[in-house]
Amino acid sequence: MFCGAQISLYPMCDRFVEVILQGLERVREIKQVRFETDDLSTCVIGPPYEVFQVAKNLFQGAAQTGVHVVMHALFSRGCPGEPDDPICTPCSPESPLATPELLDLRSLPLSNIVVAAQFSLYPLGSGTYMETIYRQIQEAKQEGTYSKGKHFVSRLDGDLEQVFGTVYNAFQRASSEVGHVVVHLTVSANSPTAKKST
């Protein structure tokens, strides 16, 4: 079983290098994951919870600088083209997940950072993948972060902790139905467009 992410951070400012490098320094303390960074993205390999923690903390640190920043992350679990890796095995010895560990959004502490996000979910090799997708949209609606459907993606709005919680839960729930699951997430903070429209 192989689990991980390709994460890219885009601070829309002249000092973008500083914001990215400071952010990466902050998340290197998270244990149980392995990092590989190049000019396009940072690959994070490890169990799903820790991989999502890296993504969330990286984005949170960048958003707290006040600059307009966007993160794009590809989360993947169970790709048959990837090698097995002991660092990932704590997330599940089986495929698909027998009992997905979920976050209870009502008990999550708020970050007080408002974010806008859109995500898409791809359960691969399954003939009933649309049902799996629709179930996650229903769950996101119940969790209160679902904002609206757009073409090809679902939009989420709310506190950073809540939005990442919904995406993590969708990834976990889909992984209990299908062995190979990919999620693409775009998350934005401090956008001047959002400020104008409120």
Residues that bind a copy of itself (CB under 8 A): 2, 4-6, 8, 10-14, 16-17, 36, 38-41, 43, 45, 68, 70, 72, 74, 76, 79-82, 116-118, 120, 122, 124-127, 129-130, 133-134, 150-153, 155, 182, 184, 186, 188, 191-194, 197
Query: Is the Cβ of residue 6 or residue 57 nearer to a copy of itself in the bound state?
Result: 6
At its nearest, how many Å lie between a copy of itself and the CB of residue 132? 11
At its nearest, how many Å lie between a copy of itself and the CB of residue 15? 9
Query: Is the Cβ of residue 176 or residue 191 nearer to a copy of itself in the bound state?
Result: 191
Instruction: Compute the distance between CA of residue 34 and CA of residue 164 in angstroms, rounded to an integer.
Output: 21
At its nearest, how many Å lie between a copy of itself and the CB of residue 187? 9
Query: Is the Cβ of residue 30 or residue 124 nearer to a copy of itself in the bound state?
Result: 124
Question: Which contacts of 83-90 are long-range, i.e. CB under 8 A and separated by 24 or more positions?
Answer: 83/2, 84/1, 84/2, 85/1, 85/2, 85/45, 87/32, 87/33, 87/34, 87/45, 87/46, 87/47, 88/1, 88/2, 88/3, 88/4, 88/45, 88/46, 88/47, 89/1, 90/32, 90/47
DSSP category for residue 89: G
